[in-house]
């Protein structure tokens, strides 16, 4: 595409920043302003803006760039002629993604323009070579940074210095206020005496046989907060007490400094230790002996964790099994206390997990076969449009079925029939593509199949994936109290399906 011919062309704007530590999205907002100014200068018409905030574009990134991949899908579909980004590295640092961009440029004539960089017409071989060279430089810069950071972290660990990040409870003595912000300045190589006293108290109470629940309820009653200022929970207490940072690295050393861990290796720290190694080992042993499941710790074994509720008190029901005559039975259980020691349920409703999960799975599969699923998977602002597209799709599918039946009884001319059926199929495919593009980002990330095809993949899909699909469609599963009933549900379970109600997401 010639630069002179950009005026009036449809443009996508793509904004991205790798690290947004404050979560304010200021970097992408500035990019967006500059990129819109570029579009105005070029005379391009901005039809859509895509933004991935706090996500790297390097090949090693584990985060999925939802907006980027949606933009590329729409480019393949032909919805724009031009992409405007701040620099080549804002668009991608991945050679594979770069090649995809080059293919689109050659096949669809897509042009990429950079606000703070050079625009290259990738229809030209020499420019494609330059684009690949620039992409290799962008990818190499990331690797250089990663190697430098890795070396710096190792040096800090070998020196036994604090590793940054979230403050560990017991460390970070306040030494004064910041003269500019007024916030506390902390020395992370010094202990906070009152917090160390709490750690010693909790250690002694655990070693004396008290339960985590008793200790957590007492700490919260006394309004003793965690390092972040929150209430204590069962699990948080355990993780805190077992922090290897507290272990005295060398008991023979007069300073009794703590332990600095890095990549599986341990080093003598510059900050003081709090527990002896023997203390730590005894805590580990006791926690293992008294292990308890709280708040869905074993949620991967339960398909409906987080969506099941007690029909008696309204509390959340958790997966908790029991052993009966040597056989382990998975159950959903209304718990009385949460992991902060607060009463949240009645502890009176239990239900075997297998028939509940079977019933809800069947309901979800049936729901996914219905036209209403497209509206359920659409963002709120697109539901009206999806409703209209769905009605047209249902009408076309009915026309296709009627046409095929008519052909079986009173045949059309073969060429006329092929033309009519082909036209309807093309229209249906186009509508299905539009409906797929109007799903929420989460639905797109799950790579859900077309309506009516979920059954094909359900039984072989992972438990985590099926649970994520259920949460897209189901608002709550309410389990009401009651007895199983006389008959067998599905010929396998003593279970009354009428006591389980599925509430659908709007």
Alpha-carbon distance of 417 to 411, in angstroms, equals 8
Report whether 267 contacts 157 (CB < 8 A): yes
- Residue 373 main-chain phi, psi, to 5 deg: -65, -35
Alpha-carbon distance of 122 to 109, in angstroms, equals 8
What torsion, rounded to 10 degrees, do the Cα atoms 357, 361, 363, 365 define? 180
Alpha-carbon distance of 335 to 407, in angstroms, equals 61
SS3 59: coil
Token pair 């008959």: residue: 487
What is the DSSP-derived secondary structure letter of residue 183?
A: P
CATH number, domain 3-153: 3.40.50.1390
Alpha-carbon distance of 144 to 148, in angstroms, equals 6
Q: Which residues of 58-95 are buried (b: 16+ CB within 10 A; e: fewer)?
A: beeeeeebbbbbbbbebbeeeebbbbbbbebbbbbbbe
Q: Where are the beta strands (DSSP E) in 64-161?
A: 82-85, 111-114
Residue (of 231, 213, 366, 350) closest to 293 by Cα position: 213
Written as one string, the DSSP assignment of 236-264 is HHHHHHT-GGGB-S-TTSTT-EEEEEETT
Residue (of 350, 328, 361, 359) closest to 458 by Cα position: 361
pLDDT digits (tens, 9 = 90+) for 383-435: 888 888 888 888 998 999 999 998 888 888 888 888 998 899 888 888 887 88
pLDDT of residue 19: 53
Residue (of 317, 291, 292) closest to 302 by Cα position: 317
Alpha-carbon distance of 456 to 150, in angstroms, equals 45
Please list, in sequence order, all residues whose beta carbon lies within 8 angstroms of the beta carbon of residue 232, skipping any fewer than 6 positions away. Answer: 216, 219, 220, 224, 225, 226, 340
- Residue 468 main-chain phi, psi, to 5 deg: -65, -40
Report whether 360 contacts 304 (CB < 8 A): yes
Residue (of 481, 485, 443) closest to 334 by Cα position: 481
Alpha-carbon distance of 317 to 321, in angstroms, equals 12
Arch. (CATH architecture) of 183-289: Alpha-Beta Complex (3.90)
Report whether 213 contacts 237 (CB < 8 A): no
pLDDT digits (tens, 9 = 90+) for 176-231: 998 888 889 999 999 999 999 999 999 999 998 888 888 999 999 999 999 999 99
In what side-by-side order are the strands of the sheet with 317-319? Answer: 317-319, 331-334, 350-352
pLDDT of residue 186: 93
pLDDT digits (tens, 9 = 90+) for 341-356: 888 899 999 999 999 9
Residuewise pLDDT in 10s, the chain (506 residues) = 555 578 889 999 999 886 534 334 456 788 899 999 999 999 999 999 999 887 877 766 767 888 999 999 999 999 999 999 999 888 988 888 999 999 999 999 999 999 988 788 888 898 899 889 988 888 888 788 878 877 887 888 788 888 878 899 999 999 999 888 888 999 999 999 999 999 999 999 999 888 888 899 999 999 999 999 999 998 899 999 999 999 999 988 888 999 998 888 999 999 999 999 999 999 998 888 766 544 444 445 889 988 999 999 999 998 888 888 888 889 999 988 887 788 889 999 999 999 999 999 999 999 988 888 888 888 888 888 888 888 888 899 899 999 999 888 888 888 888 899 889 988 888 888 788 788 888 787 777 887 778 888 898 888 888 998 999 899 999 999 998 777 788 888 989 999 999 999 87
Count, residues in the chain = 506
């Amino acid at each position: 595409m010639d630069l002179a011919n950009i005026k009036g062309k449809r443009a996508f704007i793509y904004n991205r920043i790798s690290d947004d530590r404050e979560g304010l999205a200021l970097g992408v907002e500035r990019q967006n302003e500059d990129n819109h100014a570029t579009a105005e200068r070029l005379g391009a018409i901005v039809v859509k803006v895509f933004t991935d905030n706090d996500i790297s574009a390097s090949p090693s990134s584990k985060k999925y760039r939802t907006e980027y991949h949606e933009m590329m899908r729409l480019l393949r579909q032909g919805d724009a002629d031009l992409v405007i980004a701040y620099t080549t590295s804002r668009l991608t640092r991945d050679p594979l993604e770069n090649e995809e961009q080059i293919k689109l440029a050659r096949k669809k004539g897509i042009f990429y323009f950079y606000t703070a960089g050079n625009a290259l017409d990738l229809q030209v071989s020499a420019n494609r070579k330059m684009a690949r060279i620039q992409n290799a430089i962008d990818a190499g810069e990331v690797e250089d940074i990663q190697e430098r950071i890795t070396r710096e972290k190792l040096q800090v660990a070998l020196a036994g210095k604090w590793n940054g990040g979230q403050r560990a409870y017991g460390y970070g003595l306040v030494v004064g206020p910041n003269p500019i912000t007024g916030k506390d300045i902390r020395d992370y190589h010094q202990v906070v005496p009152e917090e160390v006293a709490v750690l010693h108290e909790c250690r002694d109470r655990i070693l004396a046989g008290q339960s985590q629940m008793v200790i957590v309820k007492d700490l919260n009653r006394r309004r003793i907060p965690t390092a972040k200022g929150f209430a204590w929970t069962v699990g948080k207490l355990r993780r805190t007490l077992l922090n290897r940072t507290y272990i005295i690295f060398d008991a023979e050393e007069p300073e009794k400094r703590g332990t600095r861990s890095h990549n599986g290796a341990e080093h003598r720290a510059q900050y003081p230790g709090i527990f002896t190694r023997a203390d730590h080992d005894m805590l580990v042993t006791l926690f293992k002996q008294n292990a308890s499941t709280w708040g869905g710790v074993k949620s991967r074994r339960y398909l409906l964790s987080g969506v099941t509720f007690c029909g008696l008190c309204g509390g959340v029901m958790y997966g908790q099994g029991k052993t009966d005559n040597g056989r382990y039975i998975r159950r959903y259980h209304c718990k009385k206390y949460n992991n902060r020691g607060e009463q949240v349920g009645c502890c009176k409703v239990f239900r075997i997990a297998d028939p509940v999960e079977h019933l809800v799975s069947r309901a979800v599969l049936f729901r996914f076969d219905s036209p209403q699923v497209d509206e359920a998977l659409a963002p709120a602002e697109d539901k009206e449009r999806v409703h209209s597209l769905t009605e047209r799709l249902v009408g076309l599918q009915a026309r296709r079925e009627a046409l095929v039946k008519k052909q079986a009884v009173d045949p059309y001319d073969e060429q006329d029939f092929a033309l009519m059926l082909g036209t309807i199929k093309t229209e249906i495919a186009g509508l299905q593509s539009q409906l797929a593009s109007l799903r929420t980002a989460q639905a797109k990330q799950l790579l859900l199949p077309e309506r009516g095809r979920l059954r094909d993949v359900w039984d072989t899909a992972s438990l985590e994936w099926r649970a994520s699909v259920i949460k897209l469609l189901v608002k709550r599963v309410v389990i009401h109290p009651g007895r199983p009933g006389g008959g067998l549900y599905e010929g396998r379970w003593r279970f009354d399906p009428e006591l389980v109600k599925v509430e659908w997401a709007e």
